[in-house]
Structure 1
Amino acid sequence: MGAMLHLRLITPAEKTDAVVRLIDRTVGTAHLVVLPGAAHRPAGDVVMCDVAREAADELIDGLRALDLDTCGAITAENIDLSLSEYADRAEREAPGEGADAVLWEQLAEATHEESTLSVTYVAFITLATMIAACGVVLDNAILIVGAMAVGPEFGPLAGICTAVVQRSPRLALRSVTALLVGFAVAMTITAGFGLFMDAVGLFSEGRLEAERPNTGFIYAPDWFSFVVAVLAGAAGTLSLTSAKSGALVGVAISVTTVPAAANAAIALLYGDTHQGWRSAEQLLLNLLGIILAGTLTLLLQKALWSTKKRRTS
């Protein structure tokens, strides 16, 4: 079995026939169920079906064209197990491969949630930056990797990429706000954390300025930094859009966004403008590479999928 989605729809009675016809003529659907009058809030019929992932985006677009998202409801969830010859046949008939399909509504919803400026988001990026600050002062690569894994900044970056491709100014504004405000708050609090740690004798300017073989790369941006950011951006975008999402943690620990922000905050705290500026360059270089690669990856996926659907239609 490949990737199937289960759709549960609430539809006004007068639209049910049109919804059923749309599902019937969509290649890659199975297990159509109609429950007249089963919905109470909003009132209407309940229609359920399973659809191959590669056919889901087209079907959801059709359901939205019937205004089902405003006068009823469209709910989609992944199916972990489905033992059915009908489902197998639906997947064989659907064009393309499920892992290659991009569900734009699902991507927009995921990036909306991940790119919203919230207390939890700010807490995670601040804690990650503080962990990274400990890592740069101690020259401890393990703490740097831990900070990379904790940092939530890929969500807003993916939101920016999605907003560019889908031409969504509201998502772009929300994502940019989360990114800028999140890093500003995190760096400010980390600077205060650094003052406290210096006061109790755990941080010192000497440690920051000493030879740092394990973490010196954080304030030494070069073309490799940009190349890695581009590769990580493409991999992260693919992990979000495909049915294979396990690569995102690997992406998080490939780029030095949070460590660069932490190094800049601590360096400026001690008046080291050279390290501060070079760390800021590293941060901007990584952000630029991820956004550029993520946007190009989405554009390429969109173009390839459109070409594939035209060939099979």
Structure 2
Amino acid sequence: MLHLRAVCPGAAAPDVLAVLREHAGAANLVHLPGAAVHPEGDVVEATIAREAADEILAALSALGVDHTGGITLEQLDTVLSDAADTAEAEAPGEAADAVVWQDLVAKTGEESRFNATFLAFLSIACLLAAVGVITASTITMVGAMVVGPEFGPLAGIAVGLVCKRYDLVKRAAVALAVGFPLAIAITAGGAWLGTAAGLFDASALTSSDAQFDFVYEVGPWSLIVAVLAGAAGMLSMTSAKSAALVGVFISVTTVPAAGYAGVAAILGQWDRMGMSLAQLAVNLVGIVAAAAAVLVLRHRRAGRVGRPLAPG
């Protein structure tokens, strides 16, 4: 269940209340006249079923509430209410299959921004991957996969393409196009310092081949794993089952390939650097394609193309 709060002008409150009263997926309706201070107006709250959220948000946005006031949604972990149970039972569809498109756009939009935090996480992940390759540590490599923040922008591109939110596509593409080269450069700098300090040499790559050849060897399985991971990741995001995302992070070879490329560049292993970058590209494309395909299928399963989402 979700908690909905709408701030709207007093004149629009009757229409907002009508939308919530008439929808079977809404319960526990609260109206607070004049409670909003900035902007001034009324506050309307309700408990709504997840599968009803998209329709209710679209109806409220059609009234202009998202422009004249505001709409917020919060996930409720525990709801003890017969009325809420009835609303969830009567709402069409299943909660696990419901996609709250506005929430998905907002979430991926926030995670797709290129900023210092994104670059820091990506750089640390690539450095961890480099250490994993140099020390032949599988555990360190897995840790690097989990730390990597790249799935946010990848999901953002997929959501932007399906919802025709090209501003989101551009934002996410910039994060990846700028973030990965910088992270690889930082990793290369760290590898250079390591070689200068005598911590390792070119033999570090050849000694770890048996364990990490998957990082730079591009083949059909690279694409298959990327596609499966992208599909699982988007299913996790759209069904609010975030636990599955950890498995997605560990499955893909994005951060390991980027980290390997940085080390290979410093050691003059240009062929392996090129193959690592190719592996990175295959994984990025496969994840985006699969994630977009999942969204298209879920759109069609809902029986509609969906309301166009305003840029934001």
Give the TM-score normalised by the residue count of structure 1: 0.95
Amino acid at match of 1:209: T
Match of 1:251 in 2: 248
Q: Which of 88, 92, 110 is the aligned partner of 1:91?
A: 88
Match of 1:148 in 2: 145
Alignment of 1:1-313 (within 5 A): 4-210=1-207, 212-306=209-303
Q: Give distance in 1, aligned partners of 2:208 and 2:161.
A: 42
**Corresponding residue SS for 1:32:** strand
Amino acid at match of 2:171: R
Q: Runs ≥4 in structure 1, deviation > 4 angstroms?
A: none
Deviation at 1:101, TM superposition (A): 0.3
Deviation at 1:222, TM superposition (A): 1.1
**8 Å CA contact 1:160, 1:176 repeated in 2:** yes
**8 Å CA contact 1:133, 1:190 repeated in 2:** yes
**8 Å CA contact 1:139, 1:213 repeated in 2:** no
Q: Give distance in 2, aligned partners of 1:29 and 1:114.
A: 29
Deviation at 1:211, TM superposition (A): 5.1
Deviation at 1:180, TM superposition (A): 1.1
Amino acid at match of 2:39: P
Q: Give distance in 1, aligned partners of 2:80 and 2:233.
A: 31
Q: Give distance in 1, aligned partners of 2:148 and 2:103.
A: 22
Q: Give distance in 2, aligned partners of 1:149 and 1:211.
A: 21
**Corresponding residue SS for 2:83:** helix
Deviation at 1:203, TM superposition (A): 2.4
**8 Å CA contact 2:153, 2:173 repeated in 1:** yes
Q: Give distance in 1, aligned partners of 2:200 and 2:62.
A: 59
Q: Deviations over 1:25-75 (max 9, x none)?
A: 112110111111111111111111111000000100111111111111101
| Number of residue equivalences | 305
Give the TM-score normalised by the residue count of structure 2: 0.96
Q: Give distance in 1, aligned partners of 2:283 and 2:197.
A: 33
Match of 2:309 in 1: none
How much identity, in percent, do the aligned residues show?
48
Provide the aligned C-alpha RMSD in A. 1.2
Q: Give distance in 2, aligned partners of 1:209 and 1:85.
A: 64
**8 Å CA contact 1:98, 1:243 repeated in 2:** no
**8 Å CA contact 2:133, 2:208 repeated in 1:** no
**Corresponding residue SS for 2:303:** helix
Deviation at 1:244, TM superposition (A): 1.6
**Corresponding residue SS for 1:243:** coil
**Runs (5+) with no aligned partner, structure 1:** none
132-141 or 143-152, which deviates more: 132-141
**Runs (5+) with no aligned partner, structure 2:** 307-312
**8 Å CA contact 1:190, 1:262 repeated in 2:** yes
Deviation at 1:210, TM superposition (A): 3.1
Q: Give distance in 1, aligned partners of 2:181 and 2:101.
A: 30
**Corresponding residue SS for 1:80:** coil
Amino acid at match of 1:41: H
**8 Å CA contact 1:148, 1:253 repeated in 2:** yes
Q: Give distance in 1, aligned partners of 2:200 and 2:297.
A: 47
Amino acid at match of 2:88: E
